[in-house]
Amino acid sequence: MQIEAFISRWHASGGSERANFQTFATELCDTLGLPRPDPATKSPRTDAYCFEHPVTFIHTGTQSHGC
């Protein structure tokens, strides 16, 4: 997909960020000639490049988890 076609396709996408994010990112990778993210596995420690990678936020004295 050429850059202009990508921009045109996504220009009117609206505010559905959660619904569109993975498709947008995958098409962006294709447009830029980059590899697509890998599928997540049962071992988050080895999943370096995937969607929804689990992270731990360290706060003063507490921790919380997110993606």
Q: Which pLDDT tens digit goes with each residue over 32-61?
A: 999 999 999 988 888 889 998 888 888 887
pTM, entire model: 0.73
Which token pair is 19?
Answer: 């619904």
> What burial class does residue 27 get, using C-beta atoms within 10 Å of its C-beta: 0-12 exposed, 13-18 middle, 19+ buried?
middle
Are β-strands 55-59 and 62-66 bridged in parallel, bridged antiparallel, or unpaired?
antiparallel
Q: Where are the domains of the chain?
A: 1-36, 42-67
Q: What is the pLDDT of residue 1?
A: 58
Proportion of the chain above pLDDT 90, given as a percent: 48
Average pLDDT, the chain: 87
State the average pLDDT over residues 9-15. Answer: 84
pLDDT score recorded for residue 64 = 80
| 32-63 b/e (C-beta count within 10 Å ≥ 16 → b) | eeeeebeeeeeeeeebeeeeeeeeeeeeeeee
d(CA 28, CA 48): 18
